[in-house]
A and B are shown apart, each in its own frame.
Chain A
């Protein structure tokens, strides 16, 4: 009785969100999974259980191969560059420079705009038109005499996703910087002082002491950037519309579900996206929960 009284209020407060989560997150994941095991096509159509057929079909689907390649190219470029740019900016800002707040805001600002806005602006910047219609970055390069830099950006065959990664890096590296900066600031000054007294150079201090100490921050950053990159949709739509050379699973899912009413294939793609994000997030959750218990 006592325990119920003691915990009654907190349970009552938590209950609505637990119920809502159970239905709208886990319940829908379950519904999605069950649709992906059927052949449901068309509105309110009859459907039969087909097991994992949809998943195997996807593996043979040339469009899905492009999606996987594009996601890979985008994720590697985006996560890698955002981490390094973010870390570099954080280290520079951490040097107790003047007008630190000003620079910090400048680097953080891109995060305040949505991917759609970023996409529309970069669509213009990365305009691949040639000759008299040249504009954006290509025109800048042309004016500066840097002709060798002029390129097709996101319309480059095979590697076009690097062009999409560019604005994403621009937008998210400031955010990564903020994460790293918080990590750097949490390192006690005494540790660095002690190392300096022992005669360690600044470089060694960063390499041996600071970087290992902000590893958890890097892990969080990778998880956050990773799930963004696996779900990227709006940025591509804003820059390039729907075209297959820049296709990703999320766009394929949208088109096959809502343009073709192929709900089974759409659900299969959704499951794929969920699983690929889970591969990123679940190890992280396990690590953090272990740490909390310890």
Chain B
């Protein structure tokens, strides 16, 4: 999720490094693979040997720290399996997916790769590139500890194809408490309330809503859709039960259009961190971003919650947890299948998830984690995750396949240029097929 301004610089370098690592990794993996049975990782953890090459886009900040913490747990559990980090830099996996696609097309999969749980994995599932992990779920008893709201979203024809390690919340509105106090407003509960507050803020020379580059605008778009349509209708957009051409969607798009008019003019030149920074500096009052922004406020900027920043569910989405989840998979033809399964066991374990998520700044996918070790925001997110309705995030790969998402993204891009709401809706209807 981290999009750093350095990503473009580091991309070329990291690709070279990754390819180097891959090159080094394959030979020992082939040599050391024990010829043990293929069903669900055999032998005790101390005697298991091999190499596990894990592909992700966690290369910086809390993400890399989280991955390292998870690897530490893995190394303690399986001291004789070598962990090979095949991470490719780039926010939301945009660069990593290109490398991954190339490797999968060439039948050279890593032992396990990261993917957003949900429709984003459909491409791999329909291409027959992922193994069904239902047996592993049964063996590890994960069905009982993974949220029953999440499992249906990652189940295809009764089979589960990935192991979720964390949950992020997408529908969060962040605000600057002193700007709110100075202008006598509070975080709006609906977009109509937001428009009233926005008028006050604009009169005071403050940007009502800080916004960044196009993917953050897609992110805003999905939270506006959720807030205006309600959870059921929003979820219906993705299974076909809500009509993209309906007047309800039309009025949600009109709301989105109006929301955009209260954002900063230079949005397209800002990364999400820059947009959050506007809120921190008091140039802007609000920002909508996933809860990885919480780490940016609390850790990177050493702010105290409720003093330097505050949050609430995005307007109209109280009681709904719009989520995204990172997960690990088992590709068919993984060079060292047993070690990959060992990795998945650790990724799905309570110890692994607690180690990972405290560093990453997300909540564990399991519902039996040790709540006390998490900071206050994440504790409240865990409460909400347990009690709220659940909706998936479009921008972060839960609700729509890659192809569909790309079409929506293009439609949004065209809309940002011409501002034609009707054409936008028509393009969304076409995209939905």
Find out whether the CB atom of A244 lies under 8 angstroms from the CB atom of B402: no
Asked if A42 lies at the interface with its beta carbon under 8 angstroms from chain B, I say yes
Find out whether the CB atom of B8 lies under 8 angstroms from the CB atom of A238: yes
Asked if B416 lies at the interface with its beta carbon under 8 angstroms from chain A, I say yes
Residue from A119, A127, A257, A261 with most neighbouring chain B CB atoms (10 Å):
A261
Asked if B124 lies at the interface with its beta carbon under 8 angstroms from chain A, I say yes
Find out whether the CB atom of B417 lies under 8 angstroms from the CB atom of A128: no
Q: Which of B104, B265, B402 contacts A259 (CB 8 A)?
A: B402
Find out whether the CB atom of B8 lies under 8 angstroms from the CB atom of A45: no
The CA-CA distance from A260 to B101 in the complex, in Å, is: 11
Enumerate B259-286 residues with CB–CB distance to A below 8 Å. 264-266, 268-269, 271, 278, 283
CB distance from B102 to the nearest CB of A (A): 9
Q: Which of B127, B405, B406, B414 contacts A45 (CB 8 A)?
A: B127
Q: Quick one: closest A residue to B423, CB to CB?
A: A62
Asked if A237 lies at the interface with its beta carbon under 8 angstroms from chain B, I say yes
Enumerate A44-67 residues with CB–CB distance to B below 8 Å. 44-45, 62-63, 66
Find out whether the CB atom of A157 lies under 8 angstroms from the CB atom of B127: no
Find out whether the CB atom of B98 lies under 8 angstroms from the CB atom of A258: yes
How many A-B contacts if CB must be within 8 Å?
110
Asked if B383 lies at the interface with its beta carbon under 8 angstroms from chain A, I say no
The CA-CA distance from A266 to B5 in the complex, in Å, is: 27
Asked if B4 lies at the interface with its beta carbon under 8 angstroms from chain A, I say no
Asked if B371 lies at the interface with its beta carbon under 8 angstroms from chain A, I say no
The CA-CA distance from A240 to B213 in the complex, in Å, is: 8
Asked if A41 lies at the interface with its beta carbon under 8 angstroms from chain B, I say yes
* B155 surroundings in chain A (CB, below 8 A): none
* B128 surroundings in chain A (CB, below 8 A): 44
Q: Which of A120, A128, A259 contacts B8 (CB 8 A)?
A: A120
Find out whether the CB atom of A132 lies under 8 angstroms from the CB atom of B283: yes
Asked if B257 lies at the interface with its beta carbon under 8 angstroms from chain A, I say no
Find out whether the CB atom of B104 lies under 8 angstroms from the CB atom of A43: yes
Q: Quick one: closest B residue to A66, CB to CB?
A: B417
Enumerate A116-133 residues with CB–CB distance to B below 8 Å. 116, 119-120, 123, 127-133
Enumerate B385-433 residues with CB–CB distance to A below 8 Å. 402-403, 405-407, 409-410, 412-414, 416-417
Q: Which of A62, A120, A130 contacts B414 (CB 8 A)?
A: A62
CB distance from A258 to the nearest CB of B (A): 4
Asked if B30 lies at the interface with its beta carbon under 8 angstroms from chain A, I say no
| Given A66-B417, A237-B8, also A244-B410 (CB < 8 A) | yes
CB distance from B365 to the nearest CB of A (A): 25
Enumerate A228-264 residues with CB–CB distance to B below 8 Å. 234, 237-238, 240-245, 247, 254-262
Find out whether the CB atom of A43 lies under 8 angstroms from the CB atom of B213: no
Asked if A152 lies at the interface with its beta carbon under 8 angstroms from chain B, I say yes
Find out whether the CB atom of A260 lies under 8 angstroms from the CB atom of B407: yes
The CA-CA distance from A130 to B204 in the complex, in Å, is: 15
* A108 surroundings in chain B (CB, below 8 A): none
CB distance from B414 to the nearest CB of A (A): 6
Q: Which of A120, A133, A261 contacts B101 (CB 8 A)?
A: A261
Residue from A63, A247, A260 with most neighbouring chain B CB atoms (10 Å):
A260
The CA-CA distance from A140 to B98 in the complex, in Å, is: 40
The CA-CA distance from A240 to B104 in the complex, in Å, is: 30
Render B268-309 as a binary contact track against A, CB cut-off 8 A, 1 for contact.
110100000010000100000000000000000000000000
The CA-CA distance from A119 to B407 in the complex, in Å, is: 27
CB distance from B286 to the nearest CB of A (A): 17
Asked if A155 lies at the interface with its beta carbon under 8 angstroms from chain B, I say yes
Find out whether the CB atom of A155 lies under 8 angstroms from the CB atom of B406: no
* B97 surroundings in chain A (CB, below 8 A): 258-259
Asked if B94 lies at the interface with its beta carbon under 8 angstroms from chain A, I say yes
* A262 surroundings in chain B (CB, below 8 A): 403, 406
Asked if B9 lies at the interface with its beta carbon under 8 angstroms from chain A, I say yes
For this complex, 30 residue pairs linking A to B, each with C-beta atoms less than 8 Å apart, are A42-B126, A43-B124, A43-B127, A44-B105, A44-B127, A62-B414, A63-B410, A66-B414, A116-B8, A128-B265, A128-B269, A129-B264, A152-B266, A154-B269, A240-B213, A240-B268, A242-B213, A243-B268, A244-B414, A244-B416, A244-B417, A245-B268, A245-B417, A254-B98, A255-B409, A259-B402, A260-B402, A260-B403, A261-B402, A261-B403
In order of increasing CB-CB distance, the 10 nearest A-B pairs are A244-B413, A260-B406, A258-B98, A43-B127, A243-B214, A128-B266, A260-B403, A129-B266, A44-B127, A241-B213
Task: Name 6 extra pairs, CB < 8 A, besides A44-B104, A242-B214.
Answer: A42-B127, A44-B127, A62-B414, A116-B8, A155-B269, A255-B406
